[in-house]
Amino acid sequence: MILLAIFGGLMLLLSIFYLLNSWQRYGQWKWATFLVLLSAILTGVGTWGALTGHHRASSSPTTSRQATAQTATSSLAVGNQAMKTAGADQSSKENALLGQLQKAYGKLGTVGFDQASKTYQIKPAAGDEQKALQAVLDDPSQAEQIGWPKLTKSLQQTSAQLKEILGAGYSLSLMAPNSDQAMYTVKDGQETFTAVK
């Protein structure tokens, strides 16, 4: 977009001189006026696009994960208030939280609940999220760039909210891509396991 703004600006400058020259020498102004208007539009569109950043419309997996993490934390806070006022039993709380976690982490993957171990498991979906998590496992030095610290902080906050709602003893695990093994587990707001070191 910046190139369009530069090109439009140069064209605008030249077309203004062309308009002045055509008017004085030949008495014609229609074609030159058209060029001035066209170049002004090109300059405006290029400048607007460069200032607003519309050329960067695609969302990276990191941004998607960070937004997912923030959504998860806020949706659990809303669910916490609803369950406190409703006085629901433990099983219905677990199921309600499973639904909220599925909504909150739906972009990251699927969420399941293992009642025997009291663990909510997030299995990454195939695609960019799975590739990013595999990259962190393969090369932990990329963790910062991919957004791993923010994701783990969000999982810790979510786990702390699980403790507030359900009581102690519930875990939240992010599963490794294409595996039944956890790559990160949090229990009662505290990290208990990480495969990324």
72-95 pLDDT, tens per residue? 555 555 455 545 545 568 888 888
Does the predicted model carry a pTM greater than 0.75?
no
Which of 46-55, 105-114, 149-158 is the least confident region? 46-55
Q: What is the pLDDT of residue 55?
A: 47
User: CB neighbours of 101 closer than 8 A, spacing ≥ 6?
Assistant: 72, 76, 111, 120, 122, 158
**Average model confidence (pLDDT) for the chain?**
81
Strands (E), the chain: 109-114, 119-124, 171-175, 182-187, 190-194
Q: What is the pLDDT of residue 6?
A: 87
Q: Which residues partner with 173 through β-bridges? A: 121, 185
Which of 11-20, 45-54, 160-169, 179-188 is the least confident region? 45-54
Which is more confident, 133 or 68?
A: 133
Q: What is the pLDDT of residue 129?
A: 85
Question: Which phi and psi (to 5°) does residue 159 adopt?
Answer: -65, -40
Amino acid making up residue 57: A
Which of 48-52, 125-129, 173-177, 178-182 is the least confident region? 48-52
User: In the β-sheet with 182-187, what is the strand arrangement from edge to edge?
Assistant: 109-114, 119-124, 171-175, 182-187, 190-194
In the chain, % of residues over pLDDT 70: 82
Answer yes or no: are the C-beta atoms of 54 and 16 closer than 8 Å.
Answer: no
Strands (E), 115-180: 119-124, 171-175
